[in-house]
């Protein structure tokens, strides 16, 4: 992977060039995602009407996102009434500091963490490690990535790019275990380490899939049960959640949880679906003594302020758009260089981290629309990529490209000039082989890997004109014969 | 019926036979075909690149050129989608919005027009060979065209139509994307062409010449055995 100092665009370009020709990895990713697709098609088909379900889900999220203030405050009221603490973090730094200060104040030594992309987003682990805390990721995929020292490859399937033997080698190197290609054995190795981590930890950090306003609870959905242990065993629980995850009422989850499972993993429901509404109450025998929810903005309100793309906040992070994306399948997750990979990441990252620095992700799309088609909450994903391109060019036109399009438009507004210029196409085709794939070839970005079609001698225009003349002649001949 | 052809710039120069095949098919059905000489490009290249003002200046020209058309018929799902879906967005809130919407409303993609406007499925075409059909993404997802081209091809005598795996996966063309990110675009072409080759078809047919430029470009360079044809060329065959 490229260095951090590199500009995001250069890093993307370099990594994409490498990964797009990494046939082994591309095949592994396509295979994994083809299994996902089969499962998803099967589960999706059990919905009586997926389209209606999708529009109902979009309506719920639309209501929540357009009344964030109301629903988040309702959540805060109900949650704090049961002894929970809410911290409103405007940015990464505030969120990190809150957690660091809390850990310091409580004399925390070790921390166990379940899957939270918000944690990746605010670079929480490096900050905790730098402050001297031990942090162990408890989601199996995340644990593997942590051992490997790599960011998650996919925000739902963190280590989907790794083969079993690679995981076995990693465990052997980092944990000193024997080689195995048995998935159960690999899982048991991780479980032995993780069980210890739950018991040792005095703080558990989680994310959250939904914030439920009317009951003042957070919802966590998972398949391994690791989040339940992360949340339930240590004496302090901190949940770090994006503000857009709020929904108005508990009943909304009756639709959203199955949709998230279907779109995310092709399951009817994930293995464990838990609701957490506060710390241990008087008379209760388990649960954390303290429960903090950190509500993370970190520029989500910047996206909220854009009425055209606000629906990108409907995202329930199912990852379906990555799973169907032909770009993702060919370049993989790390190439994006973002917390949120794939189409939805390309839409939101420019809003979160700066349009000019991240606009290239919106450009790196064939705009095929598979993402929009699959999105369970109906986000207009691929059209937002177009809108990001427009906003970027409007804000800061690229001098060379701007000139190209001005010249293009100049030509295309002048039919006579266009017709004159297009007459040279056959000549161009005749001469093109002389310079093809050399530095002089204007279309070498194409011809390096693909043949370029050659222009026939007569354009459509010319052929149609001749055709019309022939018809007219035939009519006048017939007329003359009468 | 009076049908006004929109022949996108690259079809005009690179694939004139596609346009002429559309003319032949329509004339055989007894329709009058016209081709306004002053049409150029739909404006999609600058539009997709984010340069909407430049795209608008080109699009304005097309609004005028086609203002008297009853039916605008596009041989490319992509350029058709530009007229039908993106012109209204491009001119949203501008004085030309009504004209753009009218222009969009009378635009038809070739196969949709034959099947759903004219109600014709059998054009009396004959074409010997085994073929697979590639769905161009703009036609498929912006215009919702899926069944029409297949229904037309099923009525072609001598043609054996086989579906490829992942037929709805993008070929990787994507306009300027193909030259801005050639490695990614080529990787996508490779995946697509492998799906095509697995069908053992002699021909790959599409209703979008831009996809065929990508698919054909990759096949010619790497395989050279599968031929690309536009739907209109097959339907015009006797």
Enumerate the domain spans of chain B: 2-116, 124-235
Pairing of strands A272-276, A217-222: antiparallel
- Nearest by CB: A408 against B46, B182, B214: B46
> Tokens representing A303?
């996206």
- pLDDT score for A129: 97
CB-based contact A177:A185 (threshold 8 Å)? no
- pLDDT score for B18: 97
Provide the shortest C-alpha distance from residue B216 to chain A (in Å).
8
Q: Which residues of B touch A367 (CB under 8 A)?
A: 48, 137, 174-175, 177
pLDDT at B233 over 70: yes
CA dist., res. B234 & res. B205, Å (int): 8
Q: Do A413 and B213 touch (CB under 8 A)?
A: no
Provide the shortest C-alpha distance from residue A452 to chain B (in Å).
6
Residue B48's nearest CA partner among A399, A343, A386 is A386
Smallest CA–CA distance from A447 into chain B, residue: B217
CA dist., res. A391 & res. A13, Å (int): 21
CA dist., res. A337 & res. A332, Å (int): 10
Q: Which residues of A touch B78 (CB under 8 A)?
A: none
Q: Bridge-partner residues for B4, per DSSP?
A: B34, B72
Q: Establish if B131 touches chain A: CB-CB under 8 angstroms.
A: no
Listed residues A271, A298, A325: the one ending a domain: A298
Contacts of A429 (CB under 8 A, 6+ apart): A454, A455
> Tokens representing B19?
């346009």
Structural domain contains residue A107:
yes
pLDDT in tens, chain A (482 residues): 445 567 999 999 999 999 999 999 999 999 999 999 999 999 999 999 999 999 999 999 999 999 999 999 999 999 999 999 999 999 999 999 999 999 999 999 999 999 999 999 999 999 999 999 999 999 999 999 999 999 999 999 999 999 999 999 999 999 999 999 999 999 999 999 999 999 999 999 999 999 999 999 999 999 999 999 999 999 999 999 999 999 999 999 999 999 999 999 999 999 999 999 999 999 999 999 999 999 999 999 999 999 999 999 999 999 999 999 999 999 999 999 999 999 999 999 999 999 999 999 999 999 999 999 999 999 999 999 999 999 999 999 999 999 999 999 999 999 999 999 999 999 999 999 999 999 999 999 999 999 999 999 999 999 999 999 999 999 888 865 54
Does A69 lie in the same domain as A201? Answer: yes
- pLDDT score for A1: 45
Can you give the CATH number for the domain in which A179 is found? 3.40.50.10420
> Tokens representing A60?
């719920």
Q: Is A87 helix (H, G, I), strand (E, B) or coil?
A: strand
Q: Establish if B73 touches chain A: CB-CB under 8 angstroms.
A: no
pLDDT at B198 over 90: yes
CB-based contact A16:A368 (threshold 8 Å)? no
Structural domain contains residue A305:
no
Fold of B124-235: Rossmann fold (3.40.50)
Q: Bridge-partner residues for B161, per DSSP?
A: B131
Burial A159-191 (b: 16+ CB within 10 A, else e): bbbbeeeebbebbeeeeebeebeeeeebeebbe
Listed residues A298, A314, A347: the one ending a domain: A298
- pLDDT score for A448: 96
Does A89 lie in the same domain as A234? Answer: yes
- pLDDT score for A4: 54
CA dist., res. A146 & res. A167, Å (int): 12
Residue B44's nearest CA partner among B8, B93, B7 is B8
CA dist., res. A449 & res. A62, Å (int): 44
Residue-wise pLDDT for B92-151, tens only, equals: 999 999 999 999 999 999 999 999 999 999 999 999 999 999 999 999 999 999 999 999
Contacts of A464 (CB under 8 A, 6+ apart): B19, B20, B23, B35
Pairing of strands A210-212, A246-247: parallel
CA dist., res. B172 & res. A22, Å (int): 17
Domain range for A192:
47-298
Contacts of A398 (CB under 8 A, 6+ apart): none
Structural domain contains residue A430:
yes
The ipTM estimated for the assembled molecules is 0.96
Smallest CA–CA distance from B32 into chain A, residue: A468
Please spell the DSSP secondary structure of A11-54, one letter per residue: HHHHHHHHHTT-HHHHHHHHHHHHHHHHHHHHHHTTSS-HHHHH
CA dist., res. A124 & res. A135, Å (int): 10
Smallest CA–CA distance from B23 into chain A, residue: A464
CA dist., res. A445 & res. A438, Å (int): 10
Listed residues A245, A268, A298: the one ending a domain: A298
- pLDDT score for A175: 96
Stretch B28-38: mean pLDDT: 97
Q: Do B16 and A460 touch (CB under 8 A)?
A: yes
Kindly list the strands in the beta sheet with B157-161, ordered across the sheet, starting from the edge strand earlier in the chain: B157-161, B126-134, B203-206, B227-230
Structural domain contains residue A350:
no
Query: How far apart, in Å, are the Cα atoms of B219 and each of A271, A422, A450, B137, B191?
Result: 45, 26, 8, 19, 11
Other CB atoms closer than 10 Å to residue B89's CB: what's the count?
15
CA dist., res. A217 & res. A60, Å (int): 17
Does A285 lie in the same domain as A431? Answer: no
Residue A442's nearest CA partner among A389, A404, A413, A385 is A404
> Tokens representing A276?
């957490």
Please spell the DSSP secondary structure of A111-172, one letter per residue: EEE---HHHHHTTHHHHHHHTT-EEEE-SHHHHHHHHHT---SSSSSTTTT--HHHHHHHHH
Which ranges constitute the DSSP H helices of A413-482? Answer: 415-422, 425-435, 444-447, 460-481
CA dist., res. B61 & res. A415, Å (int): 9
> Tokens representing A107?
């004399």
Structural domain contains residue A320:
no
Residue-level length of chain B: 238
Radius of gyration over every alpha carbon of chain A, rounded to an integer in angstroms: 28
Contacts of A356 (CB under 8 A, 6+ apart): A392, A395, A396
Provide the shortest C-alpha distance from residue A479 to chain B (in Å).
19
The structural domain count of chain A equals: 2
Residue-level length of chain A: 482
- Nearest by CB: A408 against B11, B13, B45: B45
CB-based contact A396:B40 (threshold 8 Å)? no
Q: Do B54 and A17 touch (CB under 8 A)?
A: no
């Amino acid at each position: 992977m490229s260095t951090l100092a590199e500009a995001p665009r250069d890093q993307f370009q370099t990594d994409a060039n490498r990964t797009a020709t990494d046939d082994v990895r591309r095949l592994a990713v396509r295979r994994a995602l083809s299994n996902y697709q089969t499962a998803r098609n099967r589960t999706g088909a059990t919905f009586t009407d997926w389209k209606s379900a999708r529009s109902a889900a979009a309506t719920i999220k639309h209501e929540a996102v357009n009344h964030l203030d109301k629903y988040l405050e309702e959540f805060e009221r109900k949650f704090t009434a049961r002894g929970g603490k809410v911290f409103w973090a405007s940015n990464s730094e505030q969120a990190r500091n809150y957690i660091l200060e809390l850990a310091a104040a409580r004399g925390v030594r070790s921390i166990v963490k379940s899957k939270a992309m918000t944690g990746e987003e605010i670079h929480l682990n490096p900050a905790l490690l730098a402050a001297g805390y031990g942090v162990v990721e408890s989601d199996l995929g995340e644990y593997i990535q942590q051992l490997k020292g790599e960011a998650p490859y996919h925000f739902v399937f963190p280590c989907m790019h790794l083969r079993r033997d690679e995981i076995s080698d990693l465990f052997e190197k980092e944990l000193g275990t024997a080689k195995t290609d048995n998935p159960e054995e690999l899982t048991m190795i991780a479980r032995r380490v993780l069980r210890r981590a739950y018991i040792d930890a005095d703080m558990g950090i989680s994310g959250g899939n939904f914030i439920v306003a009317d009951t003042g609870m957070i919802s966590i959905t998972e398949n391994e049960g690791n989040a339940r242990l992360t949340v339930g065993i240590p004496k302090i629980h901190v949940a770090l959640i994006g503000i857009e995850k709020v929904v108005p009422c508990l009943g909304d989850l009756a639709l959203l949880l199955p949709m998230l499972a279907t779109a995310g993993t092709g399951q009817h429901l994930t293995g464990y679906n838990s609701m957490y509404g506060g710390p241990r109450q008087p008379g209760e025998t388990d649960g954390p003594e303290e429960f903090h929810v950190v509500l993370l903005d970190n520029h989500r309100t910047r996206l909220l302020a854009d009425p055209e793309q606000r629906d990108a906040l409907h995202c329930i992070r199912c990852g379906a758009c990555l799973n169907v994306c032909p770009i993702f399948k060919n370049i993989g997750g790390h190439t994006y260089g973002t917390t949120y990979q794939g189409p939805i990441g390309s839409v939101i990252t420019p809003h979160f981290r700066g349009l000019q620095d991240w606009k290239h992700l919106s450009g790196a799309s064939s705009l095929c629309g598979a993402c929009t088609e699959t999105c369970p909450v109906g986000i207009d994903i691929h059209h937002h990529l177009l809108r990001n391109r427009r906003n970027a060019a409007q804000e800061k036109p690229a001098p060379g490209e701007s000139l190209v399009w001005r010249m293009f438009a100049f030509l295309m507004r002048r039919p006579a000039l266009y017709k004159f210029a297009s007459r040279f196409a056959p000549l161009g085709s005749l001469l093109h082989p002389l310079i093809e794939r050399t530095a002089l070839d204007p279309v070498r970005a194409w011809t390096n890997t693909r043949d370029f079609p050659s222009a026939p001698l007569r354009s459509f225009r010319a052929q149609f004109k001749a055709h019309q003349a022939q018809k007219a002649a035939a009519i006048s001949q017939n007329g003359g014969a009468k | 019926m009076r049908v006004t052809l929109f022949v996108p710039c690259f079809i005009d120069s690179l694939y004139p036979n596609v346009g002429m095949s559309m003319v032949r098919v329509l004339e055989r059905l007894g329709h009058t075909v016209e081709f306004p000489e002053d049409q150029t490009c739909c404006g999609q290249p600058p539009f997709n690149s984010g340069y909407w003002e430049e795209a608008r200046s080109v699009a304005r020209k097309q609004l005028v050129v086609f203002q008297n058309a009853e039916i605008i018929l596009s041989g490319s799902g992509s350029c058709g989608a530009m007229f039908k879906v993106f012109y209204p967005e491009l001119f949203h809130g501008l004085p030309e919005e009504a004209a753009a919407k009218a222009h969009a409303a009378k635009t038809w993609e070739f196969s949709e027009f034959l099947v759903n406007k004219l109600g014709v499925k059998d054009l009396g075409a004959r074409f010997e060979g085994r073929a697979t059909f590639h769905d161009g993404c703009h036609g498929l997802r912006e215009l919702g065209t899926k069944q029409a081209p297949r229904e037309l091809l099923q009525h072609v005598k001598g043609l054996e139509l086989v579906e490829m795996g992942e037929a709805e996966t993008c070929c990787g063309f994507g306009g300027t994307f193909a030259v801005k990110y050639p490695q990614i675009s080529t990787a996508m072409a490779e995946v697509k062409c492998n799906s095509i080759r697995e069908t053992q078809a002699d021909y790959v047919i599409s209703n979008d010449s831009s996809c065929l430029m990508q698919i054909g470009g990759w096949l010619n360079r790497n395989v050279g055995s599968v031929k690309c044809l536009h739907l209109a060329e097959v339907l015009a065959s006797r």
